[in-house]
Amino acid sequence: MICARTAENYRQNKWNKIAPGRFTLVSVSAAPPQSGTFEELAMPLFGQLYNFAHWLAQNREEAEDLVQETYVKALKGFGTFQPGTNFRAWMYRILRNTFLTSRSGKKAAQTIPLDEGEDGQAAAATTDSQTPEAILIDRNHQDLLQTALEELPLPFREVLLLCEVEEMSYQEIADSIAVPIGTVMSRLSRARAALRVSLQQKLRGT
């Protein structure tokens, strides 16, 4: 019962952030501004964009180049940004496209064996029974988790980060990585399953 309560609380916290109609106060304070100068809109995103860039590029130097290029491109193209649409998703899209056209981005995209459109749930279902091992994840296993995340194929890594770290809605993720919302859902499911498998292997190894 306590567990159910925890889950419910968690779910409701998340719900608060993404359902503007229901909890107006929360969502208003949490919603990023959608109009203003480029500087006003873009600078608050600096930390999280850098974090994401570092996860994509896997090293500081490249991450900085990536962020710099993103900001320069975005500033140049700010005229084409439609006020009222999702600025954060727009910035992430630019960052991601910049990465995918970079050398390491091309390499990362090449090495991914992905059967997109396949039933992701099937893969997820097979690992669901083993999830209790995830409970073992505590502070001691943070570095294990970080390694597991780093090793995830790029499409899995990015949807997981956007969902869990940036707490984006499925729609916002879809806008950021320019895929249909159904693809976001199946990719997330497969990403979680892959992460669990990887974690289990690592936990067994320790």
Return the axis-axis angle of helices 120-128 and 181-205, rounded to nearest 10°.
30
Question: Which one among 68, 101, 126, 201 touches another protein, defined by CB under 8 A?
Answer: 68
- Each as own residue / partner, the long-range contacts of residues 32-38 (CB below 8 Å, 24 or more positions apart, any chain) are 32/87, 32/88, 33/87, 34/83, 34/84, 34/85, 34/86, 34/87, 35/83, 35/84, 38/74, 38/75, 38/78
Position 63 contacts another protein (CB under 8 A): yes
Span of 26-34, 81-89, 103-111, 140-148 interacting with another protein by CB under 8 A: 140-148
Least CB distance to another protein at residue 30 (A): 12
Question: Which one among 42, 89, 91, 174 touches another protein, defined by CB under 8 A?
Answer: 42
Q: What residues line the site for another protein (CB under 8 A)?
A: 1, 3-4, 6-8, 10-11, 14-15, 17-19, 22, 38-39, 42-43, 46-47, 50-51, 54-55, 60, 63-64, 67-68, 71-72, 75, 121, 124-125, 128, 131-132, 134-135, 137-138, 141-142, 145-146, 149, 160-161, 163-165, 167, 169-170, 185, 188-189, 192, 195-196
